[in-house]
Structure 1
């Protein structure tokens, strides 16, 4: 008979937390409180906090998305910020 350790299924290969640069940029902005999600619809809403934006851009520079340069990561942050409004389109 096999013991519990031998019966366990092999661990699945872990995949990256983010599949796209845009998804990573949005998550970074949320993490640094530069944007928030609408509690009813989930749309990203700009918090208009310049310090939070600067923290997100600094994080993008220091820890860029895997496979990109710091410049590309900051450009993705800026692109997402341009696409986010200050109100939810569905509210």
Structure 2
């Protein structure tokens, strides 16, 4: 006799955003708007120097701020993240 236990069904966590920090969210917005790209060889982030993409990222931050943050704080986070990213890969 093979008695099997009923499997517990686990549900995914609810109410949790994909990003845990404002900086992570800001980087995600920059990537989604194509203001930042990734080096194909090393994975470092690079600034694409695309003014239109930067404008789209700022507009997205204003319209859909990180939960619990103001649009102003989100735009400041975008600027902080962009200042930490160069236009070339440090390992290339």
Same fold (TM over 0.5): yes
Q: What is the distance in 2 between the residues matched to 1:10 and 1:50?
A: 44
Give 1:48 deviation, angstroms: 0.4
Task: Compute the RMSD of aligned alpha carbons.
Answer: 1.4
Q: What is the distance in 2 between the residues matched to 1:73 and 1:12?
A: 27
SS, match of residue 53 in structure 1: helix
Gaps of 5+ in 2: 1-5
User: Moved runs in structure 1, 4+ residues, more than 2 A?
Assistant: none
**Bigger Rg, which one:** 2
User: Which structure features the higher share of helix residues?
Assistant: 1
**Number of residues paired by the alignment?**
86
Gaps of 5+ in 1: 1-5
The two structures have a TM-score, normalised by structure 1, of 0.87
